[in-house]
């Protein structure tokens, strides 16, 4: 199967991404735009336990590592 260099670059960029980065890359182009970055992190913030607009460092660490929060 013949591919073009743009497709090859995209596939290589995607293969180097961590699972979390792949979740951020909503359009699958192998790049994280500011919009994708902000949407992912705003989503994490909205799911976290907060008190008076703040989240404990322990809860933030648990969210980042995928553990319970």
Q: Is 26 helix (H, G, I), strand (E, B) or coil?
A: coil
| Measured CA distances, 40 to 4, 5, 34, 50 (Å) | 30, 29, 10, 17
The tens digit of pLDDT for each residue in 34-43 reads 999 999 989 8
What are the structure tokens assigned to 14, written together? 């995607």
Q: What pLDDT, in 10s, does the model give residues 12-66? A: 666 778 888 898 999 999 899 999 999 998 988 888 888 888 999 988 888 877 7
Enclosing H/E stretch for 27: none
Compute the radius of gyration of the chain from its Cα atoms: 16
Q: How far apart are CA 23 and CA 4, in angstroms?
A: 25
């Amino acid at each position: 199967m013949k591919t073009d260099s743009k497709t090859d670059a995209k596939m290589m960029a995607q293969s180097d991404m961590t699972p979390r980065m792949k979740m951020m890359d909503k359009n699958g182009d192998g790049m994280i735009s500011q919009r994708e970055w902000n949407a992912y992190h705003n989503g994490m913030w909205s799911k976290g336990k907060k008190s008076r607009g703040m989240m404990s460092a322990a809860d933030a660490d648990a969210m980042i590592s995928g553990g319970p929060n």
